[in-house]
Structure 1
């Protein structure tokens, strides 16, 4: 047996932490089965060779799982959009109420402004009249 100083490399698949019951069953069946194993050198040792039927079955399971995830994402996206629509409707209603209140205050301020302008004109006319009376009294 030869001993080398090179480090041994292992291929570790990425695992996201979720397994379906079908995937668990498949993993258990791999450990229990006697599939032929290709023996190669380096980091690719231990690859299992599957039959065409087994690959077709795995692909079908994978496609079903992919479709399930796609439907779940679509459903989640629809829920998010529905929530956003509801939130925007509430915001729109609040803005309409605010606009109505501001419009009302503007109308009240406009009426008060008109009243004050009319009063100002009346007071200017009275002042002008009083001024004319004073001028007339000084001339006499």
Structure 2
């Protein structure tokens, strides 16, 4: 009987060691599955974070393109306005030069008339050989009107 009891305890030990190995294998397998699940979840979170970052960058690119287009539109409008003002300034400078020239001519005529009246009043006829050109009615340019272009009065 002793041998039968020894055999049965040996079998029980084999069963116990087999079930411990199975338990350990199951624990290792569970840990492995748990780690794999955790890794999958981490990878999913990483992909989502990466996608969100990509979406944010794409939204930023869209906004920057929109801002860039607005800036270009503003630059084009400002450049056109500058060219218009520059053209208007050029016209105004030309008109100013023309008016200055006319004013100088009129001042010369007035000085000439005043000087010639002074000469006649002082009886210095000998200084001037021909007195007919000093008569204001003989000066053809006194009767010419000063022409103003319509552009002169546009604002």
Q: TM-score, normalised by structure 2?
A: 0.56
Corresponding residue pairs, total: 91
More helix by share: 2
Extract unaligned runs of 5+ from structure 1.
Answer: 1-49
Higher-Rg structure is 2
After superposition, what is the alpha-carbon deviation per residue over 1:2-54, rounded to whole angstroms, capped at 9, x for unaligned? xxxxxxxxxxxxxxxxxxxxxxxxxxxxxxxxxxxxxxxxxxxxxxxx92122
Distance 1:83 1:132 in 2: 72
The 5 Å alignment of 1:41-80 reads 51-80=34-63
2:113 counterpart (130, 136, 139): 130
The 5 Å alignment of 1:109-124 reads 109-124=92-107
1:96 aligns with 2:96: no
CA drift of 1:75 comes to: 0.7
Runs of 4+ aligned structure 1 residues displaced above 6 Å come to none
